[in-house]
């Protein structure tokens, strides 16, 4: 068996809008190990969600995958296949979606249909992918709700989404996503809309279910605390590109890209109150329609080197085992102190 479950190579997903081309994902390469957790960290507009949608081939016009490959090494039916080569409406891809790769989203209310009961919605995926009767599907749905620690699952399947709280809805989403025992779960900011105590419960649930079921997780978030808690490997994205990639310990112990370092310094750290100001990153994330030349971070970078960073685009380079960064500061194997 291939050691990686998913390999993304030089993926480019662009949006052809009236105002011009938006390169939302622009040459992203990532891999996800079997049963592992890859965190994708970035701010709004960095392309982290579009990467997730591209894997499932759910990017809608005017968006389109214009380059690269997504190799998926799943069960017999799809093994080593390039998902970008499949027709988005093909039967092969339908077998992948839900059964092999499932996705959960930030806002569980908008991802659930208000007109159908929770049970109905979980059963739909089970009936599509598994050869079972309605009664059996209902039984699996109750089991799944029980698995996500839903109190009184037999009653909950008769309820409508509006009757549940945000945390309970997210549990329903997870139950639905895991009902066909996928190999990969793409979780796009699954706890961002939740309160802190509920968030802690959901994160713990996801970890327990991963131990139990052995699926890999691609965890997309902007929250450094959540990523530190969930991920084994992290890809930091900025304006459609991966700027740093590392195992989680190394990333937090020795963040290398000026963007990653600045992000970590800009957040208040609980339990370490100081009366001083925060180290803010100057400027703002540029519009994806007007991506700066050269390194996309150069207008905000504290280590900007004139006539280099604004001219040439740095490539992702390995600085040590398991840690890569795309920044000219590391070109000569230089120190992390930079300019």
Given the rule CB under 8 A, which residues bind other proteins?
43-44, 151, 165-168, 195-200, 203-204, 222-229, 248-249, 252, 262-264, 266-271, 273, 277-281, 284-285, 300
Kindly state the smallest distance separating residue 27's Cβ from other proteins, in Å: 22
- Measured from the CB atom, is 35 or 286 closer to other proteins? 286
Q: Least distance from C-beta 225 to other proteins, angstroms?
A: 3
CA 269 to chain centre: 24
The nearest distance, CB 230 to other proteins, in angstroms, is 8
* CA gap 183, 241 in Å, rounded: 26
Cα–Cα distance measured from residue 284 to residue 168, given in angstroms and rounded to the nearest whole number: 35
Q: Please identify, using beta-carbon distances, which residue of 179 and 246 lies nearer to other proteins.
A: 246
Specify the residue, 39 or 68, whose C-beta has the smaller distance to other proteins. Answer: 39
Least gap, CB of 70 to other proteins (angstroms): 27
CB of 327 to other proteins, least distance (A): 17
Question: Nearer Cβ to other proteins, position 81 or 199?
Answer: 199
Supply the DSSP string of 101-170, one letter for each residue. EEEE-S-HHHHS-TTS-HHHHHHHHHHHHS---HHHHHHHHHHHHHHTT-SSHHHHTTS-GGGS-HHHHH
Query: Angle at the Cα of 73 (from 108 to 53), degrees rounded to 5?
Result: 30
Q: In the chain, how long is the greatest CA-to-CA distance?
A: 68
- 330-333's contacts with Cβ under 8 Å and 24+ in sequence apart are 330/256
Residue closer to other proteins by CB (options 85, 278) is: 278
CB of 180 to other proteins, least distance (A): 28
Total count of residues recorded for the chain: 339
Place of tokens 């016009």: 61
Of 44 and 337, the one with the shorter C-beta distance to other proteins is: 44
Q: Are the CB atoms for 260 and 281 separated by under 8 Å?
A: no
Residue 70 half-sphere exposure toward CB, CA atoms < 13 A: 24
By the 8 A CB rule, do 245 and 64 touch? no
Q: Minimum Å distance from CB 326 to other proteins?
A: 18
In terms of CB distance, is 122 or 224 closer to other proteins? 224
Nearer to other proteins among residue 56 and residue 224 (C-beta): 224
| Residue 281 Cβ vs other proteins, minimum distance, rounded to whole Å | 4
Is-contact 117 142, C-beta < 8 A? no
């Amino acid at each position: 068996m291939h050691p990686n479950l998913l390999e993304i190579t030089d993926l480019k997903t662009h949006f052809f809008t009236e105002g011009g081309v938006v390169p939302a994902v622009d040459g992203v390469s990532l891999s996800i190990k079997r049963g592992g957790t890859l965190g994708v960290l970035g701010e709004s507009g960095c392309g982290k969600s579009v990467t997730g949608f591209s894997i499932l081939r759910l990017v809608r016009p005017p968006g389109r995958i214009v380059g690269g490959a997504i190799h998926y090494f799943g069960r017999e039916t799809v093994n080593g296949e390039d998902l970008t080569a499949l027709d988005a409406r093909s039967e092969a891809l339908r077998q992948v979606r839900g059964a092999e790769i499932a996705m959960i989203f930030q806002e569980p209310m908008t991802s659930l249909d208000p007109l159908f009961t929770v049970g109905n919605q979980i059963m739909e995926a089970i009936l599509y992918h598994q050869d079972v009767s309605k009664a059996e599907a209902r039984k699996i749905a109750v089991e799944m709700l029980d698995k996500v620690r839903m109190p009184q699952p037999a009653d909950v399947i008769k309820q409508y989404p509006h009757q549940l709280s945000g945390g309970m809805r997210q549990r329903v989403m997870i139950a639905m996503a895991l009902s066909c025992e996928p190999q990969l779960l793409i979780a796009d900011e699954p706890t961002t809309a939740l309160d802190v105590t509920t968030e802690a419960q959901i994160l713990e649930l996801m970890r327990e279910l991963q131990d139990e079921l052995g699926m890999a997780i691609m965890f997309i978030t902007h929250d450094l605390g959540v990523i530190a808690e969930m991920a084994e490997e992290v890809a930091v994205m900025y304006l459609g590109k991966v700027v740093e990639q590392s195992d989680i310990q190394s990333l937090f112990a020795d963040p290398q890209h000026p963007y990653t370092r600045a992000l970590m310094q800009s957040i208040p750290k609980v339990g370490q109150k100081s009366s001083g100001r925060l180290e803010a990153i100057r400027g703002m994330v540029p519009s994806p329609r007007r991506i700066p030349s050269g390194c996309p971070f150069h207008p905000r970078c504290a280590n900007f080197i004139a006539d280099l960073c604004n001219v040439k685009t740095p490539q992702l380079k390995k600085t040590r085992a398991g840690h890569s960064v795309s920044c000219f500061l590391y070109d000569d194997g230089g120190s992390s102190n930079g300019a």
